[in-house]
Structure 1
């Protein structure tokens, strides 16, 4: 999950706004987490970061999202991220609905 920066500004070096599983994936790569692993092991290795749920959205603790998956073991990094995706989507859509989504498009 990532959003492109707004167009029309003069900063050609702007990075995309990263959130959700894209943020978690970056943390996983930086920490060198290996799989298979338990959700608890992954959260501990990453330090339970707060992860943005959308470009302008709220943050949620990684531990809370992992808990919501209802799973304890993950065979691969992709399986872990795939399990987290619907939980981040749910959090993003419940946190502000269509008005927040529209705001994210114009900001």
Structure 2
């Protein structure tokens, strides 16, 4: 995912796009030199275990921790890796502080 940060009236520059979640993972994978199938440790070693932004508020999750949460040790393709990571980052994003709205949502059971 990606979102534009709040506008800054002090400059005439184009706003910077903040990349987070799976979109941010993809950026790190683009720079990694490994082939599929790949194991979890190779992904971590090759990417340098980056802190991946979870949302626009600046929260992050280490790639190694996210991979551990997938409960997979091996990924057959890039799509397989991203599909495994997607729910992990979505859960991390939704479990954020979220202010009062997040608090109220946490009180309501999901069906």
TM over 0.5: yes
Task: State the match for 1:87 in structure 2.
Answer: 88
Partner-residue secondary structure (3-state), 2:31: helix
* TM-score, L = length of structure 2: 0.78
Spell out the pairing of 1:48-87 with structure 2 (5 A cutoff). 48-87=49-88
Partner-residue secondary structure (3-state), 1:27: helix
Tell me, in whole angstroms, the C-alpha distance in 2 between the residues paired with 1:12 and 1:60. 29
Structure with the higher fraction of residues in helix conformation: 1
C-alpha contact 2:7 2:15 (8 A) present in aligned 1: no
- What root-mean-square deviation, in Å, do the aligned CA atoms of Structure 1 and Structure 2 show? 2.1
What residue ranges of structure 2 are gaps of 5+ in the alignment? 103-111
Tell me, in whole angstroms, the C-alpha distance in 1 between the residues paired with 2:47 and 2:101. 29
Question: For the pair shown, which has the larger CA radius of gyration, 1 or 2?
Answer: 2
* C-alpha deviation, 1:47, in angstroms: 0.8
Runs of 4+ in 1 over 4 A off after TM superposition: 7-10, 98-101
* TM-score, L = length of structure 1: 0.80
Partner-residue secondary structure (3-state), 2:61: strand
Between 1 and 2, higher relative CO (CA 8 Å, sep ≥ 6) is seen in: 1
Spell out the pairing of 1:1-107 with structure 2 (5 A cutoff). 1-6=1-6, 9=9, 10-97=11-98, 99=100
What residue ranges of structure 1 are gaps of 5+ in the alignment? 102-107
C-alpha contact 1:57 1:95 (8 A) present in aligned 2: no
How many corresponding residue pairs? 101
C-alpha contact 1:68 1:87 (8 A) present in aligned 2: yes
